[in-house]
Every structure is written in structure tokens, then in C-alpha cells.
Amino acid sequence: MMRRGSVVVAVAMSIASPVMLAPVAQADGSSGTAPIDLITGRGFVSVGTFANSTALDIRLDPSTNLPGTEIDWDQRFDLQNSKRFRMDAVWRFSPKHHLRLLYTDYSQTDRATLDTEVQWGDDIFPVNAQVTGTLGFEVIEAAYEYAFVASERAEVAGSIGLHYTTLEARLAATVTSPTTGARTIGGPRSVEAPLPVVGVRGMWRLGEKVYLDAQAQYFSLAIDDIKGSLYNYRAALVWQPTRRVGVGLGYDAFGVDVDLRQDDFRGKVDWVYRGPQAFVTVAF
């Protein structure tokens, strides 16, 4: 999954790097040392981390098509021991037409002792089994934006794009029985859910170096073996104290709910996280 994420980050930096190496003219025609305007400039890349509360339920059905055990993942495993990364990028290839990219990665590995029997696919984990749970969650989005409000103090744009969600969950344990001896059960299962998404994003100037950045996205889809919905709401304050580099604090809420009947994954994933974010912004 990190390979796809590296491609997204590389694309964002390749967009930014040519113009970051050259002076950017201000509205008065001079390059100067004033901060690059986040509303009227070519664009920006934001990279940061988050400390969000989560709610994740996963159910992996067996081949008999009976429902498996719905696992409250963040109750059984400590999701605070996680890697959390998010990147956002906006490139204005014209004042009203933009490309927006999003990449987020959330992963963790922990151990737990089961207090109930768990059906994970065709494997049954007994009570008191020492289970290792590994979770990898990755979101990649590319969207086209059209700015129907574009001024020096405000920008509001509608968007349409593709939201590609990948989740890999793994349960594994070593169990012992008189007939089979010690053996390892469980294993990884992955979900790939491409969902179209529509949304709106706005940025407002609150002061000479302070901006409010907000966006909302939503979509619901039922097609073939995928039925799902997602939403993402985010608001952040950005302070641009230097010419190119700024810092920001925000609040993000994200949710995806999918039912799948695929060869590798038959079941359900319901994932929600929300909470504060901190990030660094580079304007170009």
C-alpha cells in the first residue's frame, strides 16, 4: 500500500517543485519576501499527522455465506499505537480550474487476548487465544475542482473525483489441539473500494497571514459486489508566517461504510475517525 502512497506524494511534489525553485511574483509585480497568497497562488501542499478517536467494525464472512463475527477492532486492539499520516495538495492550473490530491495512511499492529470466540472467515479463534491484529488503512483521492467564487479574499470550489480506499486487516494466532498439535490460523484479508465522490471546498482570508480552509465530501454507491458510502468533513486554520511555509491546526471527520462480496473479502467494514490535526503547509 505504501507504494501507491509514495506515487501520490511524488506527484504532489513534482507539481510543486518546478515553481518552488523560482521566485513567484506578487500582485504588484514584485517577487519580494511577502508570504505567497494561499488563495490566489499556484497552490499548496500540506503534510501532517492526527490524533483522532476511532471506531472500526470489521466482519469477515466464511465461505458458507453465513455472517462472521463483527469485531470491534478499537476495543480489542489499542489503536492509539498507530502510524497516522495525511497529505493534501491543491494545484490551480488556471484561476477557476484546479487539481486536488489527498493521501492518508493509518496503520497499527497490536496483540490481544480474546474473551469470546471469533469467526474470521473460515477460521475460528477460540476463547483466550493470543491474537495479533494488524491493520493498514490507506486512502487516495484525485479530484477536479471548479471555483465558482474566486477573489482575493475568498475561494469556493465544487469538486468531483475518485476516492480509492484500501484496507488490509490481519488476524493471526497459534492454537494447539490434541489432534492437530500447534498450528497457525487466520491471515490477511484486503478490501479495495473505489468510490466516486463529490464535494465543496472553501478558503477565506481572516488576516494578512491567516486563512480558514474547509471542505466537505460525500457519496453513496451500490454497484455489482460493492455497496458503500463515505464522508469527509474538515476545517483548519493556517498561519503563513514565512514566504512559503505555514503551519496549521484543524479538525477532521472521516467515515467509510462498505459491504463487499469479493473473492478475497466477503463481509463488512465500518470505519469512522474524528479529531484534531497538525500540519505544515508549503505554498508555491
pLDDT in tens, 159-217: 999 988 888 888 999 988 777 778 888 888 887 777 788 999 999 999 989 999 999 99
Residue 29 domain flag: no
pLDDT of residue 279 exceeding 60, the answer is yes
pLDDT beyond 50 at 239: yes
* 283 part of a folded domain: no
d(CA 87, CA 278): 11
CATH code assigned at 87:
2.40.128
C-alpha cell at 164: 480509492
For residue 1, being part of any structural domain is answered with no
pLDDT bracket for residue 26 (50, 70, 90): very low
Q: Specify the number of domains making up the chain.
A: 1
Provide the residue count of the chain: 284
pLDDT for the residue 29: 40
Rounded to whole angstroms, how far apart are CA atoms 74 and 269?
13
Q: Does residue 14 sit within a domain?
A: no
> Residue 10: CB partners within 8 Å, gap ≥ 6?
none
Residue 27 resides in a domain: no
Whether 102 is covered by a domain: the verdict is: yes
CA angle 242, 245, 247 (to 5 degrees): 100
Predicted confidence at residue 24, as pLDDT, reads: 40
Nearest Cα neighbor of 38 from 279, 280, 284 is: 284
Cell of 126: 477460540
| Residues contacting residue 255 through CB under 8 Å, at least 6 positions apart | 230, 231, 232, 271, 272, 273
Cell (9 digits) for 42: 499556484
Q: List the one residue out of 200, 255, 262 whose CA is nearest residue 57.
A: 255
Asked if residue 37 is part of any domain, the answer here is: no
Query: H or E segment at 65?
Result: none
pLDDT attached to residue 283: 96
Q: Which domain holds residue 222?
A: 50-238+251-278
* Residue 99: inside a domain: yes
Q: Comparing 35 with 89, which gets the higher pLDDT? A: 89
Instruction: Give the pLDDT confidence score for residue 227 in this predicted structure.
Output: 79
Residue 261 scores a pLDDT above 90: no
Per-residue pLDDT of 61-70, as tens digits, reads 888 778 889 8
